[in-house]
Structure 1
Amino acid sequence: MENFVVSARKYRPATFRSVVGQQHVTTTLQNAIQSQHLAQAFLFCGPRGVGKTTCARILAKTINCTNLTPEAEACGICASCVAFQENASFNVHELDAASNNSVEDIRSLVEQVRYAPQQGRFKIYIIDEVHMLSNAAFNAFLKTLEEPPGYAIFILATTERHKIIPTILSRCQIFDFNRIRVEDIREHLRYVATSEGVTADDDALHLLAQKADGGLRDALSMFDQQVTFAGNNLTYKEVVQNLHILDYDYYFRLVDALLRENLSAALLLLDSVMQQGFDLHNFVVGTAEHLRGLLVCKDPVTVQLLEVSDNIRQQYVRQAQAAPLPFLLSALNLVSQCDRDFKQAKNQRLHVELALMKLAYLNGAVQFVRDLTPASNGEAKKKTSSLAAGAASPAPASAPAPGTGEPETNAPADGPDPLPVENGVVELHATPSIEPAAAEPITPRHQVRDTLPHVETGRPSMQGLEPTQRPTDVRPGTIPAPSAAPGPLPSLPKLPSLGNRLPGLRDVGTPTAAPTTKAVPTAVAEPSTPAPTGPLAPVAPELLQTVWKQLAEERRAQDKMSEFMVLNRAVAADASHVITLTVDNPVQVVQFNDFRAEFMAELRRRTGHPGLTVQIEVASAAPTGRKLYTSNDKFAYLAEKYPALQEMKQRLGLDADF
């Protein structure tokens, strides 16, 4: 049985020309070989499966080739090339830093660098996965990497450049390898399939190249797997089935159902996807990618951004023509929101179904808003034109006077039409109007002239006390005429000065000098009632108990249990109409004071005694007995009550342990 060699090793590039998708690296290396400007250390960075180690081996082989081609390619027939191809070259040393990452391994490598090559010009050291070296190993390697012998060249390869210390990076020429394009991988797979005699569809090879995510080694591994599964005839359907990938047809059917607002078809399609074992999150991500593909296909210029085969691209273009652009943008936004909230959802299937429900009626909602937009814009234009007409004829009074230097302000030009509120935008507050407010009409006041003389009340009247006129000269009902030379007015008594000081806390309750000042009470406990005069009529105890109980029951019916607990007790009134209410604790005193005013007003109204008052007392706690905690306390208590227990304990020799 012949040993099987995987395609990634069998079709590994042997020359710079056969390297796929890294022309910027291979061209630089070829020019360096031709001009003999080879650096002492190279660092190849990039993702997995893009040709880093392959280019390192091709460079090592080409450097020592004795018969280079004009394109700076190895001949493959000289002794150095043959030894390299048979893995028998003493000038090329490979080291896997993932398993040889200690200081001793690097020191052993440094010892080998001291010996010159027996054949050829250079000794090449290829260190793969160099980022796995420890810091001590990097430091031990620094001196040799900076000043190696003239015949030593180091080629470092890594997938994680950020893990390499800067002192190593500064001593190397860095080459960044790119992810290989889908089209380049598909062409290489076509070459491998032709060489192996395998018939493969373009869609199948394109799907393998897309699934590889820029890695040629992954694409060749999947190609070998598909050939083993399907034989020499590789079809798109078999690739989709074996790789467990959702076909494009699912997404095309989903978008067709959403455009027709067929929610049932969308939900059945989701159920079919779940029955086949596909992950719901992958379905949501695939839907977002499909909507993105439709979006870029709306413009012929951006169709090239869609990395699919030609047949699939034509289907995208046809469906993109049927899907409105507002629908695609809104749908992509909803699916992206569903993708963000998918991990936090408890019922993930319901979460996806809700997103499909929104998408199913999205087209109708967009059309509804579009139908309302022209009418709203027409009203806005009409309003704008009316405002412009009003601004065109300003009032003459508002025009600036010449020579005042006040700049003239022109009305702004009409801007874009405002968005209608009916389009789903809810106003959170009233929008101020830009129209000038109408001036309020001035109502003329009809003033009535009072011909009668007025007497000022703010100062005392001096009528009849003029120095030139005696009181006997003034007749009753007449106003004396003012004298020609009035004398000085008599001095008035000086009022006590209040000053600018406001009354403080110590002034509350202090009688003031002015009789017109009123003291403001701090709190009103009960409504004031006129004090009765004479002997008080006795209060019937039965009536007082009945009314008190009725008021208590009414509070229980209103779910005011705290008030009911305060009132639910027997009361009686003395000869002075004072009711003594005994409560259990001070908290109930506070509770009663909260509803005292309302309760007392109702109690007085129903009993017919306006002079009833309530005096609250807190019941004193009854003395509690001795606390019995330990067994000895309990026995002592029982022994005092039953003396025979003490005699029984002594006779039987018992202990009080129970």
Structure 2
Amino acid sequence: GVDDTRDLLENVQYLPSQGRFKVYLIDEVHMFSKSSFNALLKTLEEPPPHVKFLLATTDPHKLPVTVLSRCLQFHLKALPRRMIFARLAQVLTAENVAFDEAALQLLARAAEGSVRDALSLLDQAIAYGQGRVMEDEVGAMLGLTSEARLRALVAALVAQDAPALFAAMSQLAQGAPDYAEVLAELLQLFHALAVQQLMPEADAELFEASPALVAEFATQVSPDAVQLLYQIALHGRRDLPLAPSPRLGLEMTMMRMLAFAPQAETGAPQAEAVVPAQAASPASMARTPVPTAPRVQEVDARPAQVSSRSAPQAAIQAALQAAGVAPRASKPAEKPAVVSPPVMNQPVMSEPSADDSHRPPIEPAPVQPEAVKPLGDWHSVLLRLGLKGMALQLAENLELVAQEGDKITLRCPASHASVRSSVSEKALAAALGKQLGLNAAVRLQFVEGVPEQATPAQLRQQAQDARQQQALDSLRNDPLVRTLEDKYAARLLEDTVRPLDEN
């Protein structure tokens, strides 16, 4: 209040009894009234030489502009969770309070980078747990869903088990949870799964979910399914106030996740991905197979056709296609195309002439396989493929090992094995087939191991590091920067330096 501010200002004029300075620390200064700020303004403008004011606030925009203009502002960064965890453990050890590490992880996560909030939550947790700080009590105090119940929900989603999912939700409802918070924890888990799949070596500081759950489900859910589940949970949380009850809103969201879950592909080869470069045409269906250079068989590549022929005629046409014989053209007026004879050659009946007895038999010209040009440098090939998304992420971390015709062997490091999926492999195979100019399927074979040469992702990172170092060296050697450092004891914040865009 104004009276407390006036009492403070009356004592400001006296010299300190110990030390050189009097330091006044005012916490949450944005709670001052307008009259209090006006009373303090004159002293802030011309403070005595033995007085220092420290004004702390979490809402600096609420301070008057006249006060902000007279202060030197320091924006404190949020502390990482591991530092808050270490501080809480130190306090509890000094106070001889029993605790477990999982409970401190929950408190450090709820503090959101503030040690003061963490200590306040720690006091509440000690009172709630009657002198102990345990995971179950802290989770109940914070209104969080237990890890076991969250695991049961996600495990039922992964297994596509509807009865198990409803059993898990019924058990969850017994604790009368905040259903919006349940969806928020699912969103945090799906986000952590996506980060773990894209960057397996990512720090646990990036995760808002339990690291144990992330490690358990990162290999069980495909990346595209994680993105779909996240989007459904996000929409479910947005629409939760519109549901008849929060529980019904959660149940409908979970059932939507089951209904729209991507179907698992069965029978697909694990080591190779075969993708047709383009749909089969009637001319390619009539081409005679060459035993010396067999073409890759394309399964389900032909689009379904609806025919008006009768059943016997359709069966005859299907048998002719299976035997490798092209059906006759439907328009008799057009000149039929010359087609190479099938493997089982049929004799052609014609009247012999006088010159035919001396002519050698005419051998059919063999169908030459398509020439496949070599790919060359993998980094330059990647620039021409035009990939995006997960396919680009996969291709940037691969190394070209060998190329045998339309079969390409690529080495994928184990750290990026989670990026591989059927969608990304098909997109990569289709782009390579287009780049090679093939009309047939392109086969990709993946082998695991450490790349012997730098991958495109590593080359890009090396280039970024070189540009960053060049920018730092340029600033360090800049005459103006050196003058500021020498005269005003300025310090270059190297973490904030970013190289200029080349464009």
> What TM-score, normalized by structure 2, do the two folds share?
0.49
- Say which one has the larger Rg: 1
Q: Which one has more relative contact order, counting CA pairs under 8 Å at least 6 apart?
A: 2
